[in-house]
Amino acid sequence: MPTKITAAITAIGGYVPEDKLTNADLEKIVETNDEWIKSRTGISERRILKGEGKATSDLVVPAVQQLCKQRGITPEDIECLIVATVTPDMFFPSTANVACQKLGAKNAWGFDLAAACSGFLFALTTGASLIESGRYSRVVVVGADKMSSIIDYSDRTTCILFGDGAGAVLLEPNKEGFGVLDSILKTDGNGGKYLNMKAGGSLHPSTIETVTNREHYAMQEGQAVFKFAVVGMADVSYELMERNGLKAADIAWLVPHQANKRIIDATANRMGLPEGKVMMNIAKYGNTTAATIPLCLWDYQDQLKKGDNIVLSAFGGGFTWGATLVKWGH
């Protein structure tokens, strides 16, 4: 019986806004069509957070409230809140800070973590380390992005991809070997030129020119990112399997970042997994950046069984990428 402390996922919360942006809606805004979008990406619609004064923290709050309800705790029981996002409410204070205040999580400290589409995996490993250290017993890890706030709705190559949402997990100590068991996480700054938001930071502070040049929007060279993503996500997932002595038959679920169905299929193929073992909700939410993986867990939670080996896998801006092995504990 293992005595080592691991970080088990003991509750899941999720939130997507009600407003939908369908492929038919996009056909009216840019030159595109439903057939192209579905066949190239697998996306049918996305959710958009609308309303004056609404920000990423407004996605985080309902997801965390739901998680607390599921576990029968209150926000005051949370010790640390980590928010993975590239669309924070503001540069500072952090979105975690704002969300704690809105939640009434008076006993928590927290911070934001920026690793784009891999943000949730980076945050999950960080949160798990806090639990494994023995110092914390209730850490909440959230992936949340209001992508609609940085999307150029005149750029058909990006606006068809992204949506808004948030997913959250509660981590608690476990001594039976369940929870986050292993991670391989990677970064390569050479990828920065293919996927970024140029202005607004200390390199190019906001000016009239940066606004006029549309430099406050996400820019992606889709084909270049695609080539790296297909190889990167598949390789790291396979490496994680090998390192843990797992065969395809030992894995219950692949939980892939939802950027493009073709990238997901390539990863599943490399791992030898049939489609029935792959969590997929890209059709209804699109790419919600840091939120895709916890939103998949949220959608599929009823199908998870104690002891299931689950591989979470992501690739995104930075470049950042990685894979995490979780043994489901309840």
Nearer to ligand UT7, 221 or 250 (CB): 221
Question: Helix, strand, coil % (nearest 5) of the chain?
Answer: 40, 25, 35
- Which of 44, 222, 300, 301 contacts ligand UT7 by CB under 6 A? 222
User: Could you give the string, one character per residue 307-326, with x where binding to ligand UT7 holds by CB under 6 A and - elsewhere?
Assistant: ---------xx---------
Give the interface size with ligand UT7 as a residue count (CB under 6 A).
Answer: 19
For residue 166, how far is the Cα from the chain centroid? 8
**3-state SS assignment for residue 113:** strand
Q: Which stretch binds ligand UT7 (CB under 6 A): 8-16, 62-70, 239-247, 258-266?
A: 258-266
Active site residue 244: no
How many other C-beta atoms can be found within 10 angstroms of the C-beta atom of residue 110? 21
Q: Which of residues 141-170 bind ligand UT7 (CB under 6 A)?
A: 156-157, 160
Minimum Å gap between C-beta 134 and ligand UT7 is 35
CA Rg, the chain, in Å?
19
Helix (H) or strand (E) holding 141: strand 139-146
Report CA 182 to chain centroid distance, whole Å. 18
Residue linked to tokens 């970042």: 257
Counting Cβ atoms within 10 Å, is residue 295 exposed (0-12), middle (13-18) or buried (19+)?
A: buried
- Regarding 281 and contact with ligand UT7 (CB under 6 A), the answer is no
Decide: is 15 part of the binding site for ligand UT7 (CB under 6 A). no
Distance from C-alpha of 66 to C-alpha of 109, rounded to nearest angstrom: 20
> Residues 175, 135, 116, 166: what is their CA dihedral angle, to the nearest 10 degrees?
70
Q: Could you tell me the two tokens for 46?
A: 């996305």
Query: 115, 185, 225, 290: which one contacts ligand UT7 (CB under 6 A)?
Result: 225
For position 196 contacting ligand UT7 by CB under 6 A, the verdict is: no
In the bound state with ligand UT7, the residue whose beta carbon lies nearer, of 108 and 147, is 147
Question: If binding is defined by CB under 6 A, does position 295 make contact with ligand UT7?
Answer: no
Nearer to ligand UT7, 65 or 260 (CB): 260
Instruction: Report the residue number, 191 or 329, with the smaller CB distance to ligand UT7.
Output: 191
Are the CB atoms for 167 and 291 separated by under 8 Å?
yes
Q: Is 36 a residue that touches ligand UT7 (CB under 6 A)?
A: yes
Residues between 41 and 80 that touch ligand UT7 (CB under 6 A): 41
Distance CA 251, CA 326 (A): 10
Least separation in angstroms between residue 296's CB and ligand UT7 is: 14
Query: Footprint of ligand UT7 on this chain (CB under 6 A)?
Result: 32, 36, 40-41, 117, 156-157, 160, 222-223, 225-226, 229, 259-260, 263, 287, 316-317
Catalytic residues: 117, 257, 287
